[in-house]
A and B are shown apart, each in its own frame.
Chain A
Amino acid sequence: MTILERVERARRTLRATAIAAAALRGLAAALGILLLSATVDAFVSLPAGARRLVPFVAAATAIALFLRRLSRAGVRADAGSAALWIEARFPSLRYALVTAVDPRYEGRVPEIERAAAQVSFEPAVRRAARRALTGPSIAVAACVLVLLVLPAGAVARVIRPAAGDALSRVRAGSRTNPLASMVVRVSPPAYAGLRDESFDNPASVRALVGSAITLEGVAGDGQVVATLGGSRTSASPSGDRWRLVLAMPSAPAAVRLHAAAHERLLVLEPVPDSAPVVVLTAPARDSILRKPSGRIRLSATASDDYGLASGAFELIVSSGGGENFTFKSRTIGAATFASRSGELAATISLDSIGLQPGDMLHLRAIVRDRNDVTGPGTGTSDTRTLRIARADEYDSVAVDPSPPPEAEKNALSQRMLLMMAQALEKKRPQISHATLVGESRSIALDQTRLRKRVGEIVFTRLGEDTGEQGDAVQKRLDQQMNPDSVLAAADRAASAAAGTALEGDHDETPLLALNRPLLEAYNAMWSASGELEVGEPGKAVPFMKKALDALQAARSAERIYLRGSTRAVVVDIDRVRLQGKDKGAPGARTPRPAADPSRDDRIRRFDAALRLVRTAPSAAVDSLLLLRLDLLDRDMAAARAIETAANTLRGGHDATSALIRARRALTSVPSAPAPLTSWGSPP
């Protein structure tokens, strides 16, 4: 083997040794970090976040150290460097080896090569390699040995930290406190589609109502029993551990765990499942339709916090008016969902529903969520109302949203006649007399027909309906009485004392009531008809206005159901004041309870917890957590302040300022914002 080959072999050996030594040093550093972390964690439980960082820190340290060592060993990259390394250990070579491996002198100085070849430097290279590798190897071995000696699970906690691995630090034993370390696993209901979560030693657990709460700890002194509400549940053994399963209740509650003389408290805070939110996007607003035909598109969007199940549109058809309504309901557009949001769409054919003029169609969307624990939550949208207008509403400028009753129709017609008469009077100069009289008589004919209809309901008799009476009046009018005599009879009836039964003729039954406003309208219409008959629409207009006013008054006096704005009845308070025949005898009033009757009790409980802070801090924490439970529904600000104080105490930190804030939140008394000066007291 030539000297060059020998040096090359030495170079490779040295290079490999440097790489291996650097790797071993890096590995030792990484193992050292793991060892240190595991040891610290064995005594002081490191947070999960810190433990997750440990492998990364160890790996980064190892790589950094490896690269640094490697860069320092880079001088041995070529044969010349290796020759220099050998020369440093064999000074007798007097740089013969360096010259021998120099390519410029290759084969030209055989005596130098012979001199260099006589030196056996391979053993030195081997010794150097052994020395370089021994230290790091021992360090690595020592770290591995110590890691193996550590308690089971200690290494796993730093290599693969996971929520819920607190128990791996604890050893089972007959004298250990089984409640000292506890892992809580929350399994939400299947419908929510959420993953299970684990918590190490929590003081409180927030989870969806119905979640399975599994408590697990290491077996020790005594059996673990949980008391929740009034029920007790014993833990079941599971290897060297105990396990207990509870269901998250619908209201906040505290679970008390007992094991021999040990106690622990866990607060359960339920998260309610909200009902779906539904928005009806089409139709966008209420409407009035002329005809019950055509198709209407329905659409709605829905969303839920955990998932939708199904939805549909609900239709209710209201038919009728006044006091008589009938209702039909149905659902359409049913759909199922598989996500947290969705849309409903449908189209309804108004023809198929069988709507009639005057009917109302109420539409809304209803969506249910997937909650199969506390029952499906139901969300509903706003309701849209579609009304089908009646035919006789079309000539009204503003269509009232309900069918007008008799008097209302009369008023509309009287108004139309009035407008026609006024229009005729206005165009009188432009038309001939014959045309004027013809049109005026046409209006008079309509006026007469209207007057007859009013006459049907002017009188109300006992035992008869108005229709018969109306015919009787008209018959008498036509056959026996002239307008003046009818008017005179009506005047007599109108001037009769209120409440006096008006006797009829012969076999007519007594009048029960006289509709005076309508009578006035009837009279006015008669006068108007007369003027119109002789072609004097201008002179008829005042009578027609009077008739219209009277009809308005009649509408207010009657028990008629009207839509839209009604004319308010003004009660004459002074006239009726204390005119009632009966006297009242009011019963005694009972006092209202104080707004917050348990406030003083809560303050006392807080003070009691404060007294325990120095002597029994864990008991103080439990007392504060229970107090917080009572405040969750009542005073969230105070509940949060108390939770902060309790958590600070649990962490072993100084909780003075947190407790001050909690106390202030609990005892604060609302002050009057417009303070009255403390008269006689310091301001």
Chain B
Amino acid sequence: MSDFTFCTVQYDSGDWDSAPLVPANLIDSVARYTSISVAPTGVIVPLGSAELFKYPLAYLTGHLPVRFSELERRTLGEYCGRGGMLFVDDHNHDIDGVFHKSAHEEIARAVGPLKELPNTHALYSSFFKFDDGPPATTHELNGWGDNLVHKHLLAVMRGDRISVLYSSKDYSSEWGYHPDNKRFLSVDNTKFGVNIVVYALTR
């Protein structure tokens, strides 16, 4: 049995599958840097399904407006209440766009309001050290898009634990490549993903 299976959340309203290579890439990274028993492929689970509770860490992304149905809202609320963690990444590298606004609204209704996560949070030292907080993505630094660097991630906290982690930094684009292509990169840009997984598994 694997200790960890990467789960992508399928929701009704948007392009939930806009980053199909992120799961494989992060699975590859977790296997490269840790001894965590990880399943070689990810799974796709509908947000309103009871299957979601089998995967205490889930990944959600997209470009389009996020609108949860009542069942999805209830399931997500229960999932986070029991200790599950949802990682949401805005696949648009813009600010205050439709995905951003709608996801904020839906997460606030289902779980709670998103607040800025301090860059000293344990997430940034859960495996690799990121002294400056969330690492910037190439989309933030390449001059196109919004030309802004999002300095913080956002989170819904349950006590002192992250229940929903929200990113506007477009890690979905950053990590959306075949893992075999890592060899072309001088710096592995998926290490922060390892931090997210290790944080979820140990905190």
Contacts and interface: CB of A to CB of B under 8 A. Distances in A.
Interface of A: 286, 316, 318, 323, 325, 327, 329, 360, 362, 364, 382-383, 385, 402, 498-499, 513, 556-557, 559, 561-564, 566, 568-573, 576-587, 589-590, 592-593
A580 B67 contact: no
Contact of B28 (A561, A568, A576): A576
Interface residues of B, number: 54
Nearest to A563: B17
Contacts of A329: 98
A569 B38 contact: no
B64 A318 contact: yes
A398 to B, nearest CB: 15
A522 B63 CA distance: 33
Given A572-B40, A587-B126, A593-B160, A325 B176 contact: no
7 contacts: A286-B12, A327-B98, A382-B69, A383-B65, A568-B42, A580-B33, A584-B34
Contact of A582 (B24, B42, B160, B188): B188
Contacts of B12: 286, 383, 385
B137 to A, nearest CB: 13
Interface in B163-191: 173, 176-179, 183-184, 188, 191
Given A323-B91, A383-B13, A587-B126, 11 more contacts: A318-B63, A325-B63, A563-B15, A563-B17, A571-B40, A571-B179, A573-B31, A577-B35, A585-B125, A586-B126, A592-B161
Contact of B67 (A362, A562, A583): A362
Contacts of B194: 584
A323 B31 contact: no
A318 B65 CA distance: 8
A573 B36 CA distance: 11
B75 interface: no
Contacts of A572: 40
Which 4 A-B pairs rank lowest in CB-CB distance, beginning with the nearest?
A383-B67, A587-B125, A580-B32, A569-B24
Given A577-B31, A585-B129, A325 B92 contact: yes
B41 interface: yes
A580 B188 contact: yes
B142 to A, nearest CB: 12
Contacts of A581: 188
Contact of A316 (B32, B65, B125): B65
Contacts, number: 130
Contacts of B33: 578, 580, 582-584
B183 A499 contact: yes
A578 B42 contact: no
A589 B203 contact: yes
A571 B24 contact: yes
Given A571-B27, A578-B33, A587 B198 contact: no
Given A576-B31, A579-B32, A569 B129 contact: no
B160 A584 contact: no
Nearest to B72: A382
A584 B184 CA distance: 21
Contacts of A318: 63-65, 98
B124 to A, nearest CB: 9
A561 B188 CA distance: 22
Contacts of A498: 183
B138 interface: no
A563 B126 CA distance: 34
B17 A566 contact: yes
Given A325-B92, A382-B70, A568 B98 contact: no
